[in-house]
Every structure is written in structure tokens, then in C-alpha cells.
Amino acid sequence: MNCRFLWKSLLWALLCMGFAAPGLGLEATPEAQTPSAGQVAYRSGDYASAKAHWAGALEQTTGSARRGELLHNLGNAAFREGNFLEAVARYTSAVEHAPRQSDTWANLELARSRAGLEAADRGDLAATVERLYSILRLPELELLSFGVLALLGLCLLGEALRGGRLTRCLAVIFLGLGLGLAALHTWRAVHTPAQRAMVTASGGAALRSEPNLDLPVILRVDGGGIIERVDSLPGWLRVRADGTLGWIEDMQTLEIGQD
């Protein structure tokens, strides 16, 4: 195995990664077309009808880019209604489906400001690193990890068959990338639970030990607080908030995150 063959193999592996990406929900934004019923209602100021249309479309949509677009629209409608916490929840979910949409990030920061919440991007080092960590969606992160592992395997094969300084250097590089991606994936799994919701009630929400309004409140979750969903019953969610398990009324929350 000579160096020319190794470089060609690496190039082909990178090309295969590029061709595989569209199959993981990385579709482009649809081209301009006839306005939908939601857009017509939104432009006429009928925000409730626009939200109903986009919410219905969201339930029928699986593509991540399209879901991000619909969630962005729902956030716009909620913002126009003055429901800033609802807008924050919608924009937060939208940026997880389409994390590189600068318009959604700008709208999220404006909605958080109007809702009296601190900025999503606080400007410090920790927030900057977190923003960089979140720039890739989980399917993209998994695809990139697979590609790096494939290239590492190719380098190790080249080292086993022929050896050489080039293959050793490339193996070290891809090993470092693989470890970094593994650390990123672990960080995302620990800090971003799969099932989350945001409290959208302006006065916050009460956490109770059982799904019963007659029981005392064991914890209050402020509006804009993010909670982890554990279980559900009609009208109620069992959640974990600040390490405390309890039940909260479903109507006071909105789901966020990737589906």
C-alpha cells in the first residue's frame, strides 16, 4: 500500500460521508412557493389560526429542517401574541432542529429578553463552548463520528500492511478527533436529556408529589425553567426539576428538543 493509494482511499471515504449526509434530515430549505394557510393567517394578524395550522403541520412532519422552520413560525406567532415564554420554548426547540439558523437565534434572544430571562448566549467562555458543542445535530454528530472511525481504521490498516510516518501521523490525528467526538457525545447525553419541557406559565408551575391539585406544592418552577420529562398521565407530567421528582400540570409546559 503506497501513499497515493492511501490518499485516494481517504478522499473516497470523505466523499461517501458527504453523499450520506442528505439522508439524515439535512435537507435544504424549500424554495419559495404559494403561501400556506398559516402564512396567510399570520400576515392578516390571525395568529391563533396560524399557530393551529403550523402545529398541525408539525405533527405530520419528520424532516428536521422543516420542523425547525415550523417551530420558528410558531415562535413568531406566539411572540406577536405577547406570549413570550411560549415563543422562547418554540425558538429553543427550533434551534435544536436547525442550530445554524442565525435568525432563530436572534429571535430566541429577543424573546428571552422580553420574557425577563437571561440571554441564551451569556457571552462567557462556558456559553461559547456550549454553543459550539451544540452546532451539530445528533445525527450529524453520529455521522461524523462514524466517518472518523472509518478513516482511523483505514490508517491502522495501512500501518499494518506497510507502515510509515504518514499513516502513523494520520492515525494519531483521527484518534484524537474520535476521542473528542466521544467526549462531545457524552457531554450532550449528560447535559441534554432526551425528553424535556419548558415551563411556559408566566407565574411558574407547581410541582406536587402526586397528580392531584389538592396536594401541597413541594417545589415551584419559574417560567422559562427547563425540566426533564419522566412519565405522563392525562393532563399531567412527571418531571425532574432541580433533582426533585414530582408532577406538574401539562398545560403549563411545552415540549422542547429534537424528536
The CATH number that applies at residue 232 is: 2.30.30.40
pLDDT confidence bin for 87, thresholds 50/70/90: very high
d(C-alpha 58, C-alpha 241), whole Å = 27
Which pLDDT tens digit goes with each residue over 211-253? 999 999 999 999 999 898 999 999 999 999 888 999 999 999 9
Give DSSP secondary structure letters for 89-157.
Answer: HHHHHHHHHSTT-HHHHHHHHHHHHHTTPPPSS-SSHHHHHHHHHTTS-HHHHHHHHHHHHHHHHHHHH
Residue 89 lies in a domain: yes
Task: Tell me the residue range of the domain where 87 lies.
Answer: 35-121
pLDDT confidence bin for 127, thresholds 50/70/90: low
pLDDT at 14: 47
Contact (CB, 8 A) for 196 and 221: no
Q: Does residue 7 carry a pLDDT above 80? A: no
Q: Does residue 191 carry a pLDDT above 70? A: no
Instruction: From 94, 121, 148, give the residue that closes a domain.
Output: 121
What are φ and ψ of residue 236, in 5° steps? -135, 155
Which pLDDT tens digit goes with each residue over 105-123? 899 999 999 999 988 776 6
The Cα-based distances of 93 to 104, 128, 160, 197 in angstroms read: 10, 19, 46, 10
Asked if residue 112 and residue 140 are part of one domain, the reply reads: no
Q: Does residue 77 carry a pLDDT above 50? A: yes
pTM of the model: 0.69
What's the number of domains the chain is made of?
A: 3
Asked if residue 157 and residue 116 are part of one domain, the reply reads: no
Instruction: From 175, 191, 207, give the residue that closes a domain.
Output: 191
Residue 61 lies in a domain: yes
